[in-house]
Structure 1
């Protein structure tokens, strides 16, 4: 059990609190520039297609039934979170982290009230629930899926259905078949499953780096500003599936388990059929394989099991009539038929990064600075076995892989705006960088306050 005080500086983390503040200040300047420049562009040309750039939101100060609960969860996590994360048994820490994350997500959602905040979120004209009735014959719907993607096609799909592989829509179709139809059940599903993502990240950190770093990261994963958009967006559910795929991969390579590898392969295959952009999780998976290369070398059968799972999922969807690669090609055309063809790349290529700051917080900006410093100092030389002297560098490499995936998504031009929702799966893997920060309670407060302000001052689109 770790014995360090919760606010102590990690012994292996580079010092430099002043530089942490510089990094946080630079993040504030980026967001400020995105707001000011974005409002000017939207006012003069209207091409950003968002009312409160860089977010899809509108100005609307309000309170709600979730207000006191959100404040209470924030205060409790700031005051008690770091100490509990250090002292609780590991098996107790994981469910508590899940429960606390759910409380934070739900309370923020309920600031907008039950109906607007949760029950009606996934029933709007762009969402998946609008087409559940069109999947009464699932095999036929899969065979015909691609022909409804383009805007000019007969009965074209709503934006979110067209913009994702059918695995996303099938989730809500199957929920409906199980008697859990409607927006309320869909919202509860996304919150409940989405909150497990933080547990998956902790499991991964413990497997690849060490338990002490996972414990320090836990309160920051709970109090993530991303929770504003995780309740309720289907991307929260996608984030959890992708996170558990990475966690299973970490367990597979560190425990040399073919069973874990096979399960991971199937889950990663499902991830790619939930969202096209989540194929970029291959970059994070590659980092896990680098960190767990000893396991692959000692048991080559792991690699076969890892590749078999995605192949099975791909074969199943392809034989059912849906070709992922053909649909993606059509989707690119649809993207530029709509908002993607109007929104200026020159603004969003950096405005998206301001969105990333808003969903990950100022503490993450400071943590990323420390992660970068660690990698520069170690230059890969300390990437030894889990729990060894290079545990901090191992975590820094995992975070760097998530940063790279996010940057590739940004530069692709297929993520212009709305990245406060779209990038939720990647954002969760940036938050562990906060494990390197001293003064945990102060940085947690810096995470919670902007999230509370955003959710009370703006009416967010998700």
Structure 2
């Protein structure tokens, strides 16, 4: 009814920002990949050494994203006139001059350039400057970084919930419907950077010979100085997130949840806090004002078709898209995981560390959901959340670790969800 009334002018297949279609034969490689993954991944999670399993998670996530996108062209989404690559010619050979004039020249930029802070464009310019020019190399960067989130999230889950729980989550992180938008939207880059930042924070909190270190297993015991350096690196990445996307500000709830659970030593916290302002200070010194960028993006949105999307509809419709992103296995597991996380709040002693273990699995999911709800209720995101929310949705998928392995029926449900969406909806990303 809203479509016929012209109230949703830019979404042909709401709540998805996509067009309806029926795609069958070209999906056969993805069907084969998914079935092999359902059969093999649960076995790998039990038998492979941890570091090799992380490599499998990374490569498997990238492969799943690529085979799903093959029918539509892997690099195609980045070549449209509204995307970032279309704005690169304006930067020329003077990225600092472009940065200083960013807010003044914003109205002339492509849609996605003026809808985001300038850091994504600077990343693409740096890739092009190294000689890796073109949409193919940009797609490779996006998919590689986006797929790394599966490994980074597994690392975080290992720290806060134990290696057994993290291993159970890996197949679901690999065969998640989120992969549909890992290839190829720039938001996949944001997903990978955010996941790596949280993982660094988590690893930095592990003290040698602590109960947390024993629970997480070998490979995470590092010295005090090294932990401070890891925390500093995590802070640097966290500080970069608001300069990748304005919608990433609520994702700071995730590292906060990790810190509340692990309660690290003061040197780690100091190093983390010291790292966070480095990127904002650098951009401010270079001539870019974050607040002016926010205001300029808001003005650009007000005069675009996106502002005509009805708030009340997308308040609910965006949550429906979130359900598609996380899949049925996460939907089934989420209530129990959140109940365990809530119970932990009342059983953790005020002093010392929190009680870490499988019950903490719901904490990252709860933090991610809090960020999503903040964006949804505020109207900051109103449509197109299938790409915008993937940095949050990936953490909700972690609750699937409550399913006892091999959990192939649940894993098959995740795979089928991704295949059905790809078969029925043609996304611009």
Say whether the fold is shared (TM-score over 0.5): yes
Q: Does 1:272 align with 2:242?
A: yes
The aligned counterpart of 2:217 is none
User: How is 1:76-91 mapped onto 2 (pairs within 5 angstroms)?
Assistant: 76-91=36-51
Given candidates 102, 116, 134, the residue that maps to 2:90 is: 134
The aligned counterpart of 2:167 is 215
Residue 428 of structure 1 aligns to a residue whose secondary structure is: helix
Note closer, same or farther for the CA distance 1:192–1:386 as it changes in structure 2 (3 Å cut): farther
The aligned counterpart of 2:199 is 247
Residue 426 of structure 2 aligns to a residue whose secondary structure is: strand
1:92-133 deviation digits (Å, cap 9, x = unpaired):
111011111111001001022xxxx21221111110000111
User: How is 1:307-322 mapped onto 2 (pairs within 5 angstroms)?
Assistant: 307-322=273-288
Q: Does 1:96 align with 2:83?
A: no
Instruction: For 1:41 and 1:221, locate their aligned partners in 2 and report how far apart those are by CA, in whole Å.
Output: 35
The aligned counterpart of 1:5 is none
Stretches of structure 1 lacking an aligned partner (at least 5 in a row): 1-39
Residue 213 of structure 1 aligns to a residue whose secondary structure is: helix
Given candidates 122, 132, 137, the residue that maps to 1:185 is: 137
Residue 233 of structure 1 aligns to a residue whose secondary structure is: coil
The aligned counterpart of 1:16 is none
Contact 1:383 1:390 in 2 (8 A): no
CA drift at 1:459:
1.3
The aligned counterpart of 2:216 is none
1:53-90 deviation digits (Å, cap 9, x = unpaired):
1111112222465x232112211121221222122111
CA drift at 1:409:
1.1
Note closer, same or farther for the CA distance 1:380–1:80 as it changes in structure 2 (3 Å cut): farther
Given candidates 218, 229, 232, the residue that maps to 1:262 is: 232
Contact 2:20 2:426 in 1 (8 A): yes
The aligned counterpart of 2:304 is 338
Residue 395 of structure 2 aligns to a residue whose secondary structure is: coil
The aligned counterpart of 1:170 is 122
CA drift at 1:148:
2.5
Instruction: For 2:80 and 2:185, locate their aligned partners in 1 and report how far apart those are by CA, in whole Å.
Output: 12
Structure 1 vs Structure 2 CA RMSD: 2.0
Instruction: For 2:309 and 2:112, locate their aligned partners in 1 and report how far apart those are by CA, in whole Å.
Output: 17
Contact 1:210 1:387 in 2 (8 A): no
1:27-54 deviation digits (Å, cap 9, x = unpaired):
xxxxxxxxxxxxx211222435200011
Stretches of structure 2 lacking an aligned partner (at least 5 in a row): 208-223
Note closer, same or farther for the CA distance 1:58–1:237 as it changes in structure 2 (3 Å cut): same
Deviates more, 1:175-184 or 1:425-434: 175-184
Instruction: For 1:279 and 1:315, locate their aligned partners in 2 and report how far apart those are by CA, in whole Å.
Output: 17
1:141-185 deviation digits (Å, cap 9, x = unpaired):
001001123xxx4xx211110111110111111111111111111
The aligned counterpart of 1:456 is 423
The aligned counterpart of 1:30 is none
Instruction: For 1:389 and 1:240, locate their aligned partners in 2 and report how far apart those are by CA, in whole Å.
Output: 28
Instruction: For 2:413 and 2:76, locate their aligned partners in 1 and report how far apart those are by CA, in whole Å.
Output: 30
Given candidates 83, 101, 104, the residue that maps to 1:147 is: 104
1:315-363 deviation digits (Å, cap 9, x = unpaired):
1111111011221122222222213421110001110001101111011
Deviates more, 1:441-450 or 1:337-346: 337-346
The normalised TM-score by structure 2 is 0.91
Instruction: For 2:80 and 2:399, locate their aligned partners in 1 and report how far apart those are by CA, in whole Å.
Output: 35
Contact 1:268 1:310 in 2 (8 A): yes
Contact 1:118 1:188 in 2 (8 A): no
1:390-446 deviation digits (Å, cap 9, x = unpaired):
412222112111111111111120111100000010011000000012461111111
The normalised TM-score by structure 1 is 0.85
Deviates more, 1:41-50 or 1:86-95: 41-50
Q: Does 1:44 align with 2:5?
A: yes
Instruction: For 1:379 and 1:56, locate their aligned partners in 2 and report how far apart those are by CA, in whole Å.
Output: 38
Contact 2:262 2:354 in 1 (8 A): no
Aligned residues: 409
